[in-house]
A = this chain, B = another copy of it.
Amino acid sequence: MSAKITIHDVARESGVSIKTVSRVLNREPNVKADTRDRVQAAVAALKYRPNISARSLAGSKAYLIGVFFDNPSPGYVTDVQLGAIARCRQEGFHLIVEPVDSTADIEEQVAPMLATLRMDGVILTPPLSDHPAVLAALEREGVPYVRIAPGGDLDRAPWVSMDDRLAAYEMTRHLIGLGHKDIAFIIGHPDHGAAMQRRQGYFDAMRDADLPVRDDRVEQGWFSFRSGFEAAEKLLGGADRPTAIFASNDDMALGVMAVANRLRLDVPGQLSIAGFDDTPGAKITWPQLTTVRQPIHAMAGAAADMLMHGVDQEEGAPPPSQVLDFELVVRESTGTA
């Protein structure tokens, strides 16, 4: 391990004061181009890297962004991390990950960590985005945060999301476009804000196409494989079957797929199946699932951005927010009626 080189070494090497080095490091104005170049050359020559602890102790930035999660879906979590880090790296920030058990004492988990780490901001993923105690703890400690895909209370803090209703609307349109008229729907977990929006999108699309929705074609699920499986058993049990099933997440769609396989139903020949989320599981099945790709990576990146560049909301104005584009991913599980 080579002896650590500090800002003083760079200052000496380039013949300026440490303050000037600090200036170019932080891209502050009022540095002659020539001086800046000299300093940068010295930084490169010495391979100098500022010590993050010293920076955060002396200054107001910690160069640390936190990600809180309590998400059962590892794919979602990893995606958020990758999206956030991609943005953070460009600005020399790092990511601290903190799982938070939403069923345990929040105060105990969150407050100490917020106090010791003094992060510049925290990204909240669902279901934490809507957890009152978490929001309260963050606010009490004065740590800025951005919520990803919050379900409600949208004026409380900055957030990033996508239009779940529209996505479900378009997926339903896709099915209708394929000639389906008898399309069943499996609702997601009722506590999940997005679940209700997806349901709405389905209903809106059916209504706009003048297609009736029979009561027995809409089943309640809980976003789990099992609940999808059970819903499908009801939907596909009799001779009077729908020609397509739109499950409002991939796990449930996979449950539908399993039932279809058991019943020796050809997919998509006899039954089209659509999911939502584009989890890794959507491709780990045969046929591969038609689904909606959430812009998780981009949402996390946008959230990190807001945190790094400050999310000061003006007094009275609504907090900054962003709605990003989703993508319909048409694969093999849907076909003509």
Instruction: List chain A positions with a Cβ less than 8 A from chain B.
Output: 1, 4, 47, 49-54, 56-57, 62-63, 74-75, 77-79, 81-82, 85, 92, 94-99, 111-113, 115-118, 140-142, 225, 229, 251, 254-255, 258-259, 261-262, 264, 280-281, 283-286
Which B residue's beta carbon lies closest to that of A287?
A: B258
Taking the nearest CB of chain B, how far is it from the CB of A57, in angstroms?
4
Which B residue's beta carbon lies closest to that of A95?
A: B97
Taking the nearest CB of chain B, how far is it from the CB of A174, in angstroms?
24
Q: Which residues of B contact A82 (CB under 8 A)?
A: 99
Chain copies in the assembled complex: 2
Query: What's the Cα separation between A140 and B140 when bound, in Å?
Result: 42
A285 and B254 form a contact (CB under 8 A): yes
Query: Assuming A49-B115, A53-B118, A280-B74, is B99 touching A96 (CB within 8 A)?
Result: no
B286 and A258 form a contact (CB under 8 A): yes
A–B complex contacts, Cβ < 8 Å, 26 sampled: A1-B140, A1-B141, A47-B111, A51-B118, A52-B116, A53-B57, A53-B62, A53-B118, A54-B57, A74-B77, A74-B79, A75-B75, A77-B78, A81-B97, A81-B99, A82-B99, A85-B97, A92-B116, A94-B113, A95-B98, A225-B283, A258-B285, A258-B286, A259-B286, A280-B281, A281-B281
Query: What's the Cα separation between A307 and B92 when bound, in Å?
Result: 24
Which B residue's beta carbon lies closest to that of A264?
A: B264
Query: What's the Cα separation between A220 and B118 when bound, in Å?
Result: 50
Taking the nearest CB of chain B, how far is it from the CB of A128, in angstroms?
15
Which B residue's beta carbon lies closest to that of A59?
A: B53
Q: Which residues of B contact A264 (CB under 8 A)?
A: 264
Which B residue's beta carbon lies closest to that of A48?
A: B115
Sample of 11 more A-B contacts, CB < 8 Å, known A74-B79, A229-B286, A264-B264 = A51-B116, A53-B118, A74-B77, A75-B75, A77-B78, A81-B97, A82-B99, A225-B283, A254-B284, A255-B286, A261-B261
